[in-house]
Structure formats: structure tokens, C-alpha cells
Structure 1
């Protein structure tokens, strides 16, 4: 008790020497400073009692609310009646940290007493913000996982359709088939990464986890280079129509499967010597080895964006030359653009957009990127297999052929299962009896 009184008397002695202009704020600062040495409730009681005796010595006129500490621990300085007073939110309350950049408000009433309660609605718990951010992250992870699962199923169905339908194996559909294969391998390695890369494995940095990372980055790069192959073919077919006969399958195989390999080997060597940790995921500050494979991917996207611009320009020129109405022309152009966006990988450019510091922008950015990145394979399967007129026509013909074969087999089975008629039986029996 003596120690508590000593601190209160010490503060009073300090306050008595301070100028009246800064008396209120500095008094609260002194109180909060001492709150670490004296319990808040006893300090508040002793301080309020001391101030009630010292109020008459302070300069000023009119009705005032005395300096006081509320039940939460916020110190309210001596203020004029009718004034709305603001103080920073408490830094800590019941073990929970709060954002002190916001303010709490309390009114000094006309009779010189404080309002019963302060307005703490602007004080947000940092723990709550962390929980909310963690919740959005978990939802984004679920979207990512479901998107990869749905994309994998769609990609496998599209792959087997291209495998079984030999009648549609032209160069254009072979490019689609290889792009779908690249997405399947990339999604498969994504699932392997999710199942095997635990924090312990990250820290151990074993050889197999580095090989998994290198495989994932290789197949991720093949996605981009096969998208580049799609762009090359479309640009050649639409803009340079006379050159399509010169295109060969081996050219696109070299672009899609061969070129990414030395790029990933160079990246792996750079990682081995300059950033050999955490299974080669992430990057160390000041080390830019990841740009060895990310740089060519960005370059491919830029070239595909140029291809897209030229293709849409040519399409608009041809549509304007046709007899269709202007509304239908724009509708076709917009449809072609939307169809080409996922094929050429232009949506990946959105991943480089900085959402800024705004919380809503960051949440939208997380969800949008999770959706686009995980459903990319699904969009490719839908647009370039399931909605492909050649694929649909071939599937329809195969189905009709199966129906015809099934109906013929059913008729033959039915004919063979018809019982022998009584007349034939009687004739046969008569013939046998005659012979006897």
C-alpha cells in the first residue's frame, strides 16, 4: 500500500511542476506509464481521489470533467463540459492486442461528469484481423484444391477423347492435345507437392523434394510454351494464312516440350549454388535465380498478348467486311477474345497485378487468383475439347455407330431366341415316324 501511494504521490509531484496547457495529456501519459508497476484498479482509485483534492489548484474557468480512468483502462484527461474527447484505443486488453491507430470516444456531459460508457466500436482486435485473414486464406486453399480436382477430371476426359478419336487428328487438335497433356502433368505434380511438402521436408531440403519442385516448375513452364505454340498456330492461320502448310508437328513439340528443359536445368543449377534451401521453393532476398524460368514465361505471355491483339484485329476486319449486323460482329469478336484468353494464358498476367494495401482489394485478389489458377485446365478442356465442333461431331458419329451396332446385335439375339413353331415340330415328328 505504501508503494502504491508512493507512485501516486510521485505522479502528483511531477504534475504540480508541469505547465497547465499540457497538464491533461501528460497526466494521462504518466498514469499509463505507472500502470505497469501498480494494478490498474488500485491506481485508478488512488489517482481519482488525489485529483479530486487537486482540482481546485488547476487554472481555468467553467465546468470541467475531471481526469479519470474507465474500467477498460483508458485515461480521460480533464476536459470542458460538452466536449467529445478522443483517445487512442488500448494496446492490450485481457491479453488481446488492439490496433492503436484508431480512437475511442467519450463525451464530457454538461454537468461536468463523464458519460457512463465510451465508444469503443472503432477498436479492432489484431487477433480478430489475423483470424479473418487466416479464414480467407483457408477458403482460398479450398477453392484452389477443388479447382485442381475439377480441372484434373475435365483434362483426363479431354485427353482420352483426343486419344480415341483418331479421325480428328489434325495439327491444330494435336496442339490442343499436347496442351491438355501438359496441364495434366502440371496438375499431377501440384497434387504431389501438396501431399509431400510438409514444413519438416522443407527444412530438411532432401534431394527428392528438390526434384519434385524442379518437375513442377518444368511442367508449369511447358504449359506456357504450349500456349505459345497455340498462339503461333492461330497467328499463322489467321494473320499469315498462306504459311499454315509449312507448319510441322515436330516444330511445336520442340517449342512445348524441349525448350523448357534447358531453362529448368539452368534454374536448378542456379538454385543449387546460390539458393539451396527449403526444397527450392521461395527465394532468398537478393537472389534472383527464379527469374531464369519466370523470365521466359513472362516473355511468352507478352508475345501471346501481341498475337491476341493481331488476331482480334484481323477478326474485326473480316467481320466488318461481312454482311452481318454490327451488334453480331462485336458479339463474335468478344466471344473470340474470351475464348482466346485462357488458351493463350493471358489470364496469368493478372497474377502480376499489385492489389495494394487495401484489405478488400487483397481479399478479391486472393480469391480471383485462386479461381483462375486452379480452373485454367478446366477452361482449356471446355473450350478446346468439349465445345470443339470436330470433337462433338466425331463423338456423335461414334455414338450413333455404337447404337447401330448395339441394335443389330440385339435384333440378332432376339431372332436366335425365337422358339420353334408347333407346325415345324409336328412336321419333323411326322417325318421321323415315316422314316421308321
Structure 2
């Protein structure tokens, strides 16, 4: 189809369209070919006279003719997509289509000898004029994710100068290499490995944190110390984050990649998402509390902190306020994007998702920067103190050790994780795995350094162990003494002949034996005690009668 008038651009059906119709058609086709799930629109011929294709809502109540320059319609359609990445891919496809149109206008003015296939847009890629009987290849489009670097798309120009058509009578391009599932499956498998590593490290960290908190609270001499109280709250914040992260990884993260499904319990998923924001941010504020407390302790050595109530309010209250603010902003933002949030549990549901995330992310970065300043000043104080005793190398070693100990306590290791490479960069896999380990191993590291390797804790554990061993020794000695006493009593009460030649009875287990003994020796039954021993209080007359 060719419309008379201005210069035209060609698309995959063979139609040559005006600029406006070309923009609408190619952008609509990009949507059709790229968006394969949660489709809110379908393509249809908006104007058969011009060959223009547009988008219609699922209930056919609205018509949208998108173009890369119409931000209103582009953003509206993007809000129906599950991720920002899909929106960006679609926009890139629309822009590439228009660049193809400009190239067609530039090169179609020149005349070539022989048979050539015309320059065209196939829905994903722009193909130049190609000599008949040739196969032309292009690199895969940049907006197609997880394509191998060496993969290429191929298009065949037939001997009669027309692009080869498939059974549907549309011009065909071979994108098999670009759409190979091998590369995508490798990414999925790697993502599953990272998730499993996160779950394993996080589980170990939870055990360490629970044990550390239990030890701190077990001994009164430890739990009354202000420093230990701050450690307990930092460990609690890491414990809360670990539990929430574990639930998120198991219920949401791993399930989505294992089942290849984005359909979850939306209410439960969103609640867990909000809790995850709180759990992620709380440790940063408690790390700042640790940094400020230690810095203040070195600056004002002889001035004891009277109360820790302000630390408690700041450490727990600030992330709570930020999370509530984020939740309100997220709900307000979602009120104008009806389908995005419902489809994907608030995970990159709109272009405003990352902007709202700064409500929580910016204060945590500020906490790290303040802790970095505290760390530098503490290091300066330690170096100054070491210089006062230069002849003591052990002091220098202690200062170095103290410096490294403060890094996980202040959260300075998080600076190594700020940079996040894209999925196309070679360092992406390394940073994903390293980030999963470092983030979830913080609980293990601080528990080992500040609890299990703490001299005070070890001293109390040894003291408890020695006390337990002493108590066990006393119990064994008491048991042994009781056993010896019982043995002597048993020996004294065994069957023997008393001073009057009469037998003592206690070792008989059958009452009949006792009765026979009494009968054979003419002993009255009243002379027996309940334990079978002859009553020593019997008078001599009775004894004479027996004799």
C-alpha cells in the first residue's frame, strides 16, 4: 500500500506509510512483539485507508496511537507494564523504528543497478537495501535482553528482489539466535544460585544473632552495660532484617524464578515488601547509633551517657517514619497507575518506583557517610595515642585490629555495594553474588567479633562452665557418699548371727522366707521390725525363751 503525497516509510507488511502513520504503526507493532505477558492492549487497524495500526484497550473502550515523541501516551502505556525495563525496551524499539524511517528517506533517493530488496522495518530491526539472492545479517537489537554476544539476526533477499515471506505471507526475519533460551536459562540458573546462597548465609546469620542476643541477656553484668545494650539492639535490627529477607527470598524471590510466574498473593506480597523496606533500613540507623556512641565515648571519656532513650527513639523510630512515608507516597503514586502495582507487587511497577525509593535510600546513605566521618576521626585518635608510645609495637597492632573491627559495626562495607553494574556488564554476576553474601553475612561477622570473640563474654562463659563442673563434682561426691552409706547399711542389715546367736533378717525378698525363719527359731512375730530385723529392745527373758 502506498499513500500519495509526502515521502513515505516502509514497514514489514510492505505498506509505505506517512510519517504519522508510520510512527503509530511501528510503535504499536513494537508493543505487540515485545510485550508477551500482562497485555493490557492489542493492535488493530485504526485506519484502513492509511494502513495505520494503533492500540486498543482490552475492553476496547479506548484507542491509543503511540509514538516515541508522545510522552503522555507512552507513559500511560508504560504504567501497564510489569517492569521499568520492559517500558524502556518498548521506547527504544519505537525510537529505532523512527530512525529507520529517516534512513529510508535518506538512502531511497539514490538509484542502484540490479535487483534489490527495499529498505524496511521488520518490527524490531531496520534492514537496508540488499542485493537479490543475498542473506544479510545484523547484530541483535539492544533492547532484547540476555542475547549472546555473537548472536545475529538474518534476513534473506530472494532472487526476484523481494524479502522472503513465511506461511503467514509476512516478510520474515530469523531471530532464532537472538531469542535463544540458553542464555536466558543461564541467567535464571545463576539467579537461583544467588538466591540459595542468600538463604543459606542468612539462615546461619540468624542462628549466630539469636545466640549472641541470648548470651548478652543471660548475664546481668553484660546486659546492664550501655555498650552491650546498643549491641543488642543492633543485633535485633539485623535479626529483624534477616527474618524478613529470608521470608522474601523463599516466598517471593525464589518462587518467582522457580515457577516463572509473577502471580502472587498481592496483599501478602505488598505487606512483606513494606516490611522489607523497614527491615533493610533499620540496621543502618543502629550502626549510626553505634558509631556516634563510640565516637562520643572517645571524645568525652569521663562523661557517662545518662540514658539511651534517644538512641532507642532514633534507631527504631526513624526507619519506621521513613517506611510509613514511603508507603503513603507509594499508595498515592499507585492511585494513578491502576494495573501496574496490582500486577507485580510494587516491584519496578512504574517509572516513579525508583524515585520513591530515595525516601529510604537517601537517609541510609547519609548514615553511612556520618559513620565514615566518625571512623576517620576515631582512627585519627587511635593513631595519635599510638604515637605517644612508639616503642610499643603491640599498641600499633591493637590500633589496626580495632580499626578493622569497626568496619562491619559501622556498616562501611556497604560502600563496596553501592555500585551495581547492569546485566549486560561482565561484572554483573560477581557483584550479584558478592552482594548477596556480604549483605547477609553481616550478622555472622558482628556476632563473631562482638560476642563470641568478646573477652567479657568468654570470661562469663568460662565462669559458668567452671561453676557447672563444680556443681556436677559436688553432685557426684554427694551421690557417692550416699551410695557408700547405703552400702554400709545394707551390709550391716544382711543375714548374720547376732551376739545371742540369733539371725538378723533383712535381705529376704519373699515374706514366706521371713515367716519360715521365725517359725523355725520360735521367734514371736512381734519381735520383728518392719525391715525384718529382730527388735533389740526385746527383754532377756524373751531371749532366754528363744534360746
Superposition pairs of residues 95-174 of structure 1, within 5 angstroms: 99-100=149-150, 127-169=181-223, 170-174=225-229
Contact 1:229–1:256 (8 Å) recurs in 2:
yes
Q: Deviation string for 1:18-49 (max 9, x for gaps)? A: xxxxxxxx99954334x9xxxxxxxxxxxxxx
Contact 1:320–1:329 (8 Å) recurs in 2:
no
Deviation (angstroms), 1:374: 1.3
After the TM superposition, which of the residue ranges 420-429 and 180-189 deviates more from structure 2?
420-429
The answer as to 2:310 corresponding to 1:251 is yes
Contact 2:203–2:246 (8 Å) recurs in 1:
no
Equivalent position of 1:313 in the other structure = 380
2:325 to 238, 261, 266: 266
The answer as to 2:231 corresponding to 1:176 is yes
Aligned residue pair count? 337
2:369 to 294, 302, 314: 302
Contact 1:267–1:289 (8 Å) recurs in 2:
yes
Deviation (angstroms), 1:377: 0.8
Residues 416/154 of structure 1: CA separation in 2 closer, same or farther (3 Å cut): same
What is the CA–CA distance in structure 2 between the aligned matches of 1:312 and 1:168, rounded to whole Å?
A: 26
Provide the TM-score with structure 2 as the length reference: 0.55
1:14 to 110, 114, 136: 114
Contact 2:284–2:368 (8 Å) recurs in 1:
yes
What is the CA–CA distance in structure 2 between the aligned matches of 1:188 and 1:429, rounded to whole Å?
A: 76
Deviation (angstroms), 1:414: 1.5
Structure with greater helix percent = 1
The answer as to 2:250 corresponding to 1:190 is no
Structure of greater Rg: 2
Equivalent position of 2:488 in the other structure = 420
* Structure 1 SS opposite 2:356: coil
The answer as to 2:389 corresponding to 1:322 is yes
Deviation (angstroms), 1:345: 0.9
Contact 2:148–2:183 (8 Å) recurs in 1:
no
Contact 2:202–2:440 (8 Å) recurs in 1:
yes
After the TM superposition, which of the residue ranges 348-357 and 337-346 deviates more from structure 2?
348-357
What is the CA–CA distance in structure 2 between the aligned matches of 1:285 and 1:130, rounded to whole Å?
A: 24
Deviation (angstroms), 1:433: 6.5
Indicate the RMSD between aligned Cα atoms, in angstroms: 3.5
Deviation (angstroms), 1:386: 0.7
Deviation (angstroms), 1:259: 2.1
More relative contact order in 1 or in 2 (CA 8 Å, sep 6+)? 1
Contact 1:186–1:219 (8 Å) recurs in 2:
yes
Equivalent position of 1:44 in the other structure = none
1:32 to 126, 134, 137: 134
* Structure 2 SS opposite 1:301: helix
What is the CA–CA distance in structure 2 between the aligned matches of 1:425 and 1:294, rounded to whole Å?
A: 84
* Structure 1 SS opposite 2:282: helix
After the TM superposition, which of the residue ranges 185-194 and 308-317 deviates more from structure 2?
185-194
Equivalent position of 2:288 in the other structure = 228
What is the CA–CA distance in structure 1 between the aligned matches of 2:269 and 2:390, rounded to whole Å?
A: 59
Residues 365/324 of structure 1: CA separation in 2 closer, same or farther (3 Å cut): farther
Deviation (angstroms), 1:331: 3.6
Equivalent position of 2:457 in the other structure = 391
What is the CA–CA distance in structure 1 between the aligned matches of 2:397 and 2:423, rounded to whole Å?
A: 37
What is the CA–CA distance in structure 2 between the aligned matches of 1:209 and 1:140, rounded to whole Å?
A: 21
Contact 1:98–1:125 (8 Å) recurs in 2:
no
Residues 134/357 of structure 1: CA separation in 2 closer, same or farther (3 Å cut): closer
Residues 227/247 of structure 1: CA separation in 2 closer, same or farther (3 Å cut): farther
Superposition pairs of residues 279-298 of structure 1, within 5 angstroms: 279-282=345-348, 284-287=350-353, 288-298=355-365
What is the CA–CA distance in structure 2 between the aligned matches of 1:369 and 1:402, rounded to whole Å?
A: 43
* Structure 2 SS opposite 1:14: coil
Residues 334/282 of structure 1: CA separation in 2 closer, same or farther (3 Å cut): farther
Residues 336/360 of structure 1: CA separation in 2 closer, same or farther (3 Å cut): farther
Deviation (angstroms), 1:208: 3.3
User: Which ranges in structure 2 are unaligned for 5 or more consecutive residues?
Assistant: 1-112, 117-127, 153-176, 336-340, 501-533, 539-547
Q: Deviation string for 1:227-282 (max 9, x for gaps)? A: 11111111111233244x13422122112112221111111100111147233344
Residues 320/342 of structure 1: CA separation in 2 closer, same or farther (3 Å cut): same
Deviation (angstroms), 1:177: 0.9
